[in-house]
Structure 1
Amino acid sequence: MKKLGDRSKEQRKLIGLTQLQLSKKVGVSSVTISQWESGDTSPKGQNLYKLADALQCSPDWLMFGEEKSIKPESNAEWAGGFEAWGSDSPLGDDEVEIPFYMEVELAAGAGIAECREYKGPKLRFAKSTLKRQGVSSDHAACVRVNGNSMEPVLPHGSTVGVDTAYTDIIDGKMYAINHDGMLRVKMLYKLPGGGLRLRSYNTDEWPDEHINHEQLKNIKVIGKVFWYSVLI
């Protein structure tokens, strides 16, 4: 069965790049490229997206082999630098604060027992940004992800924004769920007969979980993940 390293190597050769040339495009050493292709290590976080961009394919195809190669296109625009602010800084006209539940972690793995919610610091979002996503600040909360099952997209310690008003399942989207008393974040897929498939990005360590119709009573969809933040 082909893995990320095999697909990366094949695609590199298909577009005519050496390991050294690819390493310069991604911004890593040629040794790192060799380790990725041999399966010793895997690209994480932004490195996965940089590798996919350099190989002219999608991150999903690299990880799962489910999509064909695509031609790169511009998908970003410069939005300016950072503006420093503190907890006592006044909100701007287009800003709103979202509660950040630091002690409530959504387990990206086997899950952790649900604990008492603690309202810690708040994160700031632009009202216009939330509006474009169809998210109401009254139904939004930020929580921390725990574990490695959603790597490399969501490394341990990542923060996700959850829209608690959006509980309808769309195949392949990420959701926060309460699974038999454990808080988790997974990609969800509907199964024939009313079942559910829970998928992680790190499928090598965390294979898909199939939940039948009877077991669904132990799962409550808390909300759809509409935003996440990763420090590399």
Structure 2
Amino acid sequence: MKHKQKHHTVYFSGELFSQKHLIGNAYLAEAIYEKSHGRFLCVLPQNIEHGKSSSRAARDRDIKELLECDLALFNFEGTAVDSDTLAAFMIAKFADIPAVVLRSDTRGDAWTAMAGFFPRTVKVVVDSPGLYKTSMKRRRIAAIDEIVRLAGQHSSVYAQLMCEQIAQACVRALDRAIKTKPRMPKHLCEEVYSWLALMPGFKGKEKVLRKHISRILENKIDRDLL
């Protein structure tokens, strides 16, 4: 009997190197949860507890989290896509995970042909500076004194309104992505996921790794994700 899922987990992949990245990731993830009425639960790699583990152990944990999630959201920002985000995107496509690729950066198109045209992938492109300026105009306080703006936290309100619009676009895209049919043929699922247990070179016993990835596959099949 198939299990009907009330909510879906979304691996949220993006840069993690500055306070702007961390704040932006957290804010957008929470806005997506709110705008989807709890249907999409973003898993933030920055919130995954790695303790004092090595970079390899942290990488292993992040890949397993990605494979366990129902969907994935990838932030393709900047003049060049973050290498960790791009690597996670490719693993998601190997696993036939429905994905949304977000770009809110107006500095040209950072995608290359090799990162485009993959199935079960929905592209969201938004003009974040434009949305921010529109939020200012709607509140009709663009010309207020900077002291008043800072003391009244007006700029954070503009950013909040901008983020909410981006989140709404992401929710629509996630809804489209989750409805896409699996690209991977049923008879190949077991073989592909067996390979995914080996391909990253996870540290640990092969038998245990295969069993863990096999459970992930069974869960996805049970909920019609594959």
State whether TM-score is above 0.5: no
Greater RCO (Cα-Cα under 8 Å, separation 6 or more): 2
Higher helix fraction: Structure 1 or Structure 2?
A: 2
Higher strand fraction: Structure 1 or Structure 2?
A: 1
TM-score (norm 1): 0.24
